[in-house]
Amino acid sequence: MNETVMRDCCALVESLNKDLFDAIRISDLGALEWLLEKKWQIKLHISCETGSNNIGSIKSLCDHVKKKRKEFPERVLLSLELPEIKICEYAQALPSPCEYLGAGGIEIFYSARRLLSSSYTLREGDNYIEAIVSSPEASDRPLRCIETIHGTLLYLDKDQFVLDRTHNLETARLHSLRIDMRDHPWEPSIDFYIDGIFHGFEDRIPWPRGYCAPFFESNETTKEFNKLKASRIYLSKGEVVAEVIASEKEKFVAYVTKEKINLNGVFSLMNSTGKEIYRGPLRFRNSDGAFIENAPKGALIISSWLPGTQAGAVLGRS
């Protein structure tokens, strides 16, 4: 939080009746220090969901709270970027009980700035703005974006879901699995998912949105960067001859050439993450629709549609 947001949030918390809360959850170190100085008799939950992925930093936070309050935090919220083996390790090693998101939205971006209010108006009675956004590199993956008084948050198009694989977490004595259904219809009810944890689910779990567990089985925090690395090597070799600027499903793919090229031979088309979409010969037309075999640098060339092609993909010699 910046200074202004911090000051406003602290003033709001100070004005509330603390007896109405079981605990206060904190993710900002400045807010934690401010709260420790207040010496209120209220339980503290330390959120490490968006950082502090190493056990040393989490232990240090717990020890700091213990030194100030004579007791450890009531709970620590573990990051979604930890694989299952680390979650189990931390649950056993940390001095405070641990919580993990069992089902709910996966936050992938946060900014303290209000990024939606410049384009959208807050409706009367609402306390947040919600929009669906996408990027040119992943136009087929609409992402949920929410702006609140705390800033702007972006969520993955699929939710976290590990309620069907809790055996090791139970063995490691993980204290809590959180089920976040705030923006879902309550059908089926939360009781259905709680029952599934203890008695198992059927083959298909009726979660309202698509779900995954991107880091749970293995730590893939660098997965996307590995994909991007291939694309960067491809570019550095000077093998890229054109870049996709537009694509319409089942109709065409439009490119701008990076150099003077002969359009015969075998080409490789790679998307922005480094994945090869197509390898083989292509026939190209110019903007008048005539088939061509050569094109100058900066020319607009068009091929038939190729599945999975989006703006930003690159075409190179195979």
Q: What is the pLDDT of residues 190-205, one digit of tens each?
A: 788 888 887 777 767 7
- Boundaries of every domain in the chain: 3-106+158-212, 234-317
- Interatomic CA distance for residues 62 and 76, integer angstroms: 9
Determine the pLDDT at residue 276. Answer: 86
- Closest by CA position to 116, among listed 142, 143, 138, 148: 148
- Which residue positions in the chain have pLDDT lower than 50? 222-237
pLDDT per position as a tens digit, 151-163: 899 998 889 999 9
CATH number assigned to the domain with residue range 234-317, chosen from the 4 options 2.40.30.10, 3.40.50.620, 3.90.1170.50, 2.60.40.420:
2.40.30.10
Alpha carbon of residue 87 to chain centroid: 19
Give the pair of three-digit tokens for residue 21.
């809360």
This prediction has a pTM of 0.66
Determine the pLDDT at residue 16. Answer: 93
Burial status of residue 271 (CB atoms within 10 A of its CB: 0-12, 13-18, 19 or more): buried
- Closest by CA position to 152, among listed 178, 138, 133: 133
